[in-house]
Amino acid sequence: MSETPQQNSHDGAFKAIFLQFSLWKDLQQTNSLNDFLDAWLTLQSCQICNISHSIAIINEGPDERESIISYWPDETTTAVPALQTACEIAVTERRIVIVDGKRSVDQDNRQANIFHVSVPFYQQNESVGAVAIELVNVNESNINLAIRHLQWGVKWIDVFLRGSNKFKSIANEQLSIVLQLLTCALDNTRLQAATTQITTELSNALGCERVSLGFNKGNKIEIIAISNTAQINKKSNVVAQIKSAMEEAVDQSSTLIYPAAENEQDFKTVYVHSKLAEEFKSALCTVPLVHNGCIVGALFLQRPEDLIFDSETVELTEIIATLIGPILDLKRKDEEWLLVKLFNSVKSGVFKLLGKGYVTQKLITILILLVIGFFSFAESLYRVSADAKLEGLIHRVVVAPFDGYINESFVRSGDRVKTEQVLAKLDDRDLIIERLNWQGKRNQYSEQYRDALAELNPAEVKVLKTKLGQTKAELKLLDEMLKRTSIAAPFDGFVVSGDLTQLMGAPIAKGDVLFEIAPLDAYRIILEVDERDIGEISIGQKGELLLTGKSDVTLPFQVKKLTPVAEQKEGRNYFRVEALLENTPPVLRPGMKGVGKIEIEDRKIFWIWTHHFLNWVRLWLWSWWP
């Protein structure tokens, strides 16, 4: 069974997720700073949208030559010096650096908006390095998401650099939770089973009373899984309140925590969370799920009020949401109805056409629209095509004049003959013998007739006179039949059918067809017009004929006759239409085949190409319509 393009895209997405899975294992198992930094930078770069290059630098000593540098995807790019400069600024000034500019991105020197974003690494309140990324054609929201993602990831560098067993054990425990949840997301083929298991496992791992997971559905959130719950009552008051909290976090595109540490959420609105926390007597945390730079859902966590969400737990939850969000979103899209998938594909295509970028898709769409517009309004001569066959205008049949045997044959199919040319001869021996017999009877009756006259016997004279007349008639008939033993051509033409060379001495009966002859310069065209097009044909219309044996010359013709009775051939109905050629080249032969096109009138090119299909659709719909 062949795979669909959508299945191929999903397979590619799952392969990328498995790659991240292996990189996370490297982070857990490696003891080398170089290997850790390479795996960490690759993970960060694969999870940030619109990223083209990235670099991470950790200074192990005062000399720059002692620095450890990691590149993604490689170091052979003109962006490396600019990224290194951004890292130096971030380390020196100990702050996040954003540098914007423009750069050529292809051979045509087309310019793209480039942003260099750098976040420093800290160790014991000292900046020991930085990570810098290059973003292409992004907006402010994309830059904020990228910075937040880097800030999450920088904590892993801090844990590795500390090198204490305490932090290593914490990191191992957190990695174990991440790997366990990734396994749950990948092992379950159905979305409902995966989300239910993930929420339950996350609830147990983080000591939560309830974990809920929901996805965007239009402008609302639809909750599809709650930890330790098999069925969800979507009309319940609790579910409605959780949806409101999720929507509050999604609207702000940010993680919301209540209660939170001081100055943790200076610019975030947590009105719904605060009301819900007072009602539930719990600590709450909502983390958006992101896929391809877009928020697709949210993860809601509820803890006892004395167990607030600290920064490490929030960071772990955000990492988990970043990893499982794309997996679950792919599963959700894979289980959608076909019409929903079609609508989403159209919506995505419209976004590409109306949004920024995607110049190639826009140019192709404009070209397609121009072509469709041209063929929808442009007109051309509409012609009905039909299989055609060339026949002689007069088709003369030469038959056997009487019962006999074939003695000689001089022509066969395809030979050119002239008027009165002998085509074949019949055996005349029996006729000659019979003529001699009747001639002897005539001589006998003549002598008897003279004797009766001499004897003055009127009655005998009358009888013998009658017999003499009979013999003369028989002799005359035999003479005529002897003449007709030579079968001659009635006019100049071609022998269309008839080959007696293999039938020498064979008996024939009176009326058997021996030859068919067509004239040299008088032809008619027989067109087999499909029943779908016969309504367009009328007498007097002109057209052109192209013969298979003479494909370099078109022959004009005019329709002369329509046969009102349909005939069936090769599973279709057609009508026989006769036409006459306006001129007759000498190369024509009866029986030649080709294609004829009857000229109708000027019509829209789009209609000419699609009218048969549209007629078929109308007929099909009518046959099924009640």
The CATH number assigned to the domain holding 135 equals 3.30.450.40
Residues 154 and 201 in one domain: no
Mean pLDDT of the chain: 81
- Mark whether 149 and 255 lie in a shared domain: no
- State pLDDT tens for residues 167-219: 455 556 777 788 888 888 888 888 888 899 889 988 988 889 999 999 988 78
Q: Is the pLDDT of residue 263 over 50?
A: no
Task: Kindly report the length of the chain.
Answer: 626
Q: Encoding tokens for residue 29?
A: 């198992």
**Any domain includes 180:** yes
The percent helix, strand, coil of the chain (3-state, each to 5) is 45, 30, 25
Domain residues for the domain of 68 are: 13-163
Residue 4, domain member (yes or no): no
Of 463, 482, 516, which residue constitutes the final position of a domain? 516
Indicate if 458 and 553 belong to the same structural domain: no
Question: Of all helices (H) and strands (E), which one includes residue 37?
Answer: helix 33-46
Residue 404 belongs to domain with CATH number: 2.40.50.100
| H or E stretch at 36 | helix 33-46
* Cα 581 from Cα 389, distance rounded (Å): 12
Same domain, 213 and 154: no
**Quick one: 78 and 156 in the same domain?**
yes
Name the amino acid, one letter, at 335: E
CATH number of the CATH domain containing 618: 2.40.30.170
Residues 209 and 320 in one domain: yes
Nearest residue to 82 (alpha-carbon basis) of 38, 118, 46 = 118
pTM of the model: 0.45
Instruction: Say yes or no: 531 and 509 in one domain.
Output: no
Q: What is the structure's pLDDT at 63? A: 53
Cα–Cα distances in angstroms (integers) from residue 213 to residues 228, 327, 583, 608, in the given order: 12, 13, 82, 55
Position 382 in a domain: no
- For residue 165, the model assigns a pLDDT of 42
Instruction: Choose among 17, 313, 36, 49: nearest CA to 156.
Output: 36
Residue 108 sits in the same domain as residue 206 = no
| One domain, residues 456 and 575 | no
Between CA 391 and CA 592 the distance in angstroms is: 8
Structure tokens at 127: 């900046």
State the pLDDT confidence band at 302, using cuts at 50, 70 and 90: very high
> Of the residues 163, 193, 211, which one is the last residue of a structural domain?
163
- Percent of the chain's residues with pLDDT above 90: 13
Residue 38 confidence (pLDDT): 83
Per-residue pLDDT at 590: 80
Question: Residues near 272 by Cβ (< 8 Å), separated by ≥ 6?
Answer: 241, 244, 245, 247, 248
Residues 177 and 326 in one domain: yes
Whether residue 192 sits in one domain with residue 107: no
Is there a single domain that holds both residue 402 and residue 441?
yes
Q: Which residue has the tokens 């990570």?
A: 131
Does residue 320 register a pLDDT over 50?
Answer: yes
What's the token pair of residue 166? 């305490």
Looking at the 3D structure of the chain, how many domains does it have? 5
Render 578-618 in DSSP notation, one character per residue: EEEES---TT--TT-EEEEEEEEEEEEHHHHHHHHHHHHHH
The Cα 555–Cα 549 span in angstroms is 13
Maximum Cα interatomic distance, the chain, rounded to a whole number of Å: 169
